[in-house]
């Protein structure tokens, strides 16, 4: 199953998510979404029911970015920064072409009407696909100039995009490292496992912030192990120990911090003639 989420750019925290599913057999509800752009609109609309997004920036992957979506978000007071596919409608032909352009060359185009949208074009050479044109669209105030620290003359706008795009990847990494998902073909098990993993990652981030710690430096294994112990402890305390093997009761006593009961000693008295 594919889950599309809206995550924090700095810390591993998921605000809301949407599952990519097939068309329902009955009448579709508002949770049935078709099209990448509609997914972003759905997540933003859901978020606005719980908090104000005006004045915030949204970093989007090229699969979801488009000019109409960028304008829709800008009208709601939300700026956008995201890479965009060169086959999207509205992109000028001169920004798509790489003919006659050197490696690491950089172009910027502004929206003609009100100049709220800027389109950045950066040419790089890759080993897999050769010359590649990286297009980035944003409604933030123009971030011009290039960086010189790595010798690639990378645009500052793309540097900012790289800095803010990893929120979803960090959540996925923390969730999958110690996932509770079993091997199952049942979609209900997959969905519940995703929710449990997401809640665990969110809880770890909230606890770190409440303790004035950096969530990015918190060991997710230690938190997950402690969380599992705290969730299972009440059920272990309520369980009857009658009829359980000695090895199991000893483990239960060890988990609960109870003194372990010693097994009865055999009678060593012998019989003499």
Does residue 149 have a pLDDT over 70?
no
Identify the pLDDT of residue 128. 78
Identify the pLDDT of residue 218. 84
pLDDT of residue 111: 86
Report the first-to-last Cα separation within the chain, whole angstroms.
77
Confidence (pLDDT) at 65? 92
pLDDT at residue 266 is higher than 60: no
Q: What is the pLDDT of residues 11-56, one digit of tens each?
A: 899 999 988 877 888 888 888 888 888 999 999 999 998 888 899 9
| Predicted structure pTM score | 0.78
pLDDT score, position 255: 81
With a cut of 70, say whether residue 178 has pLDDT above it.
Answer: yes
For the chain, give every domain's residue range.
Answer: 2-94+135-169, 181-256
Lowest pLDDT segment from 2-11, 86-95, 118-127, 142-151:
142-151
Residues of the chain with pLDDT > 90, as a percent, come to: 26
């Amino acid at each position: 199953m594919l889950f599309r989420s809206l995550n924090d750019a700095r810390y591993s925290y998921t605000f809301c998510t949407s599952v990519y599913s097939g068309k329902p057999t009955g009448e579709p509800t508002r949770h049935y979404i078709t099209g990448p752009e509609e997914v972003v609109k759905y997540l933003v609309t859901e978020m606005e029911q719980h908090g104000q997004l005006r004045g915030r920036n949204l970093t989007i992957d090229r699969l979801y970015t488009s000019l109409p979506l960028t304008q829709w978000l800008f009208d709601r007071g939300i700026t956008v920064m995201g890479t965009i596919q060169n086959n999207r409608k509205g992109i000028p032909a001169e920004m798509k072409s790489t003919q006659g352009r050197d490696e690491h060359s950089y172009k910027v185009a502004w929206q003609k009407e009100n100049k709220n949208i800027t389109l950045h074009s950066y040419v790089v050479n890759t080993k897999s696909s050769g010359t590649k044109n990286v297009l980035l669209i944003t409604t933030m105030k123009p971030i011009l100039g290039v960086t010189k620290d790595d010798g690639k003359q990378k645009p500052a706008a793309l540097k900012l995009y790289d800095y803010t795009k990893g929120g979803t990847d960090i959540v996925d990494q923390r969730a999958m490292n110690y996932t509770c998902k079993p091997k199952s073909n049942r979609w209900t098990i997959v969905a519940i496992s995703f929710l449990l993993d997401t809640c665990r990652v969110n809880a770890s981030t909230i606890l770190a912030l409440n303790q004035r710690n950096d969530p990015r430096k918190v060991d997710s294994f230690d938190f997950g192990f402690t969380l599992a112990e705290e969730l299972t402890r009440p059920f272990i305390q309520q369980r009857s120990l009658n009829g359980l093997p000695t090895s199991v009761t000893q483990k239960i006593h060890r988990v609960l911090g109870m003194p372990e009961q010693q097994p009865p000693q055999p009678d060593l008295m012998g019989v003499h003639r």
